[in-house]
Amino acid sequence: MTYLLVLIAAIVVNNFVLTYFVGICPFIGVSKKLDSALSMGIAVTFVMTLTSIVTWLITHFILIKLNMPYLEYVAYIVVIASLVQFVEMFIKKTLPSLYKALGIFLPLITTNCAILFVALLQAMRSYGFLESIVFGFGAGVGFTLAIVIMAGIREQLELSDIPRPFQGAAVTLVTAGVLALAFMGFSGLLSA
């Protein structure tokens, strides 16, 4: 039951983009077209879930066992960067069609605050192994949800007349604000 709570919380109640403000760069940058938004979302979900697993292992078997908590940030970022590198190479070799669809987004994901945030949070909240996997997956799904909705809205916005100062990132941010307002409605969801 806790797993379900963790999942729902990560997807809507504490949405990574709209509540925690992570993953904004790709959120603004890749939300122009619906299909690229979806591809980015799927890539992010995949990497987040993997990251959860690997950083959990690192936290518990290296940082804690060897009593070097101060290496946390360096260890996480190195692991994440390497993970993304391997994933990219792996997909390129085994599923070239998938690589064509998702591949270009993978390097972008490395410096994505959202991935590091997943690692940081699961350590901060002392999640168990299974819990952290569910958390990583949920965070990715939440990100995908936000970016896909945003892409849908922006595709419509393309057709309207936006005042010059607002064009570009500004209107996207304002739209995100309205979206965030809507998502706040979820905050009461888990008080049974």
Partner 1 sequence: MRRMIIVLTSVMVLSGLVLALADTVFQPQIQANKHRALQTSLAAIFPKATKPQFKQLPIKKMTIYRGTDASGTLLGYAVGIVTNGYGGPISLLIGLSADLKKIVGMEVVEDSETPGMGARIADDWFRNQFDGLNPLQTITYVKNEKPDSAKNQIEAISGATISTKAVLSGLNSSIGEAVSLIKASSGQQESNK
Partner 2 sequence: MTDITIEAPTKQRSILFEFAKGFVKENPTFVQVLGMCPTLAVTTTVVNGMGMGLATLFVLALSGLVASAVKRIVPGEVRIPVYTVIIATFVTLADLFMRAYVPPLSKALGPYVPLIVVNCIIMGRIEAFASKNPVVPSLVDAVGMGLGFTVSLMVLGALRELLGHGTLFGVDILGPGFRPMLVMVLPPGAFLSLGILMAAFNAVKDRNKLVLVGG
**Residue ranges that bind partner 2, judged by CB under 8 A:** 18-25, 28, 70-74, 76-78, 81, 111-113, 116-117, 120-121, 124, 163-181, 183-184
Amino acid 144 reads: T
Q: How many residues bind partner 1 (CB under 8 A)?
A: 14
CA dihedral 8, 12, 18, 20 (to 10 degrees): -20
Does the footprint of partner 1 cover residue 192 (CB under 8 A)?
Answer: yes
The stretch near partner 1 (CB under 8 A) out of 22-30, 122-130, 136-144, 152-160 is 122-130
In the chain, how long is the greatest CA-to-CA distance?
Answer: 59
Min CB(66)–partner 2 separation in Å: 16
Min CB(123)–partner 2 separation in Å: 9
Distance CA 11, CA 143 (A): 8
Angle ∠(183,147,159) on CA atoms, nearest 5:
100
Quote the tokens at residue 145.
């949800």
Does the footprint of partner 1 cover residue 124 (CB under 8 A)?
Answer: yes
Q: Which does 190 bind (CB under 5 to 8 A by kind): partner 2, partner 1, none?
A: partner 1
Among residue numbers 65 through 84, which ones bind partner 1 (CB under 8 A)? Answer: 68, 70-71, 74, 78
Judge contact between 115 and 109, C-beta under 8 A.
Answer: yes
